[in-house]
Amino acid sequence: MNLRDIKKDIDYVLSAFIEDCSLVAAVNSKVSEDEASALMEEAIDLYNELRDKVAKVDGPAKVYYNALRKEVLERTDALYEKLSAAVRKEA
């Protein structure tokens, strides 16, 4: 895992999440624009935080990038769980 790949992963995963939030807000009446916007803001904050972490390698690069890649997936999965919960809630 190198620096360029981890940056691309962060960009791709979080931009896909933001796109999914927009789509859900447009199509699903259970999710309000405010809820979708809050989730998108959270994703943008996560993006900024992770990009800062990419720039500050702490320890051996390979171990650090592997841990960071795992964090990207875990935290994005948590965002998707929040989006799913918003979709499943009662209208």
Q: Considering the chain, what is the average pLDDT of its residues?
A: 91
Q: What pLDDT, on a 0 to 100 scale, did the predictor assign at position 2? A: 79
Which amino acid belongs to residue 3?
L
Q: What pLDDT, on a 0 to 100 scale, did the predictor assign at position 24? A: 92
- Let me know: does 84 contact 30? Beta carbons within 8 Å: no
Quote the distance between the C-alpha of residue 37 and its chain's center.
13
Per-residue pLDDT at 1 exceeds 70 = no
For the chain, domain boundaries: 3-88
Q: What pLDDT, on a 0 to 100 scale, did the predictor assign at position 42? A: 97
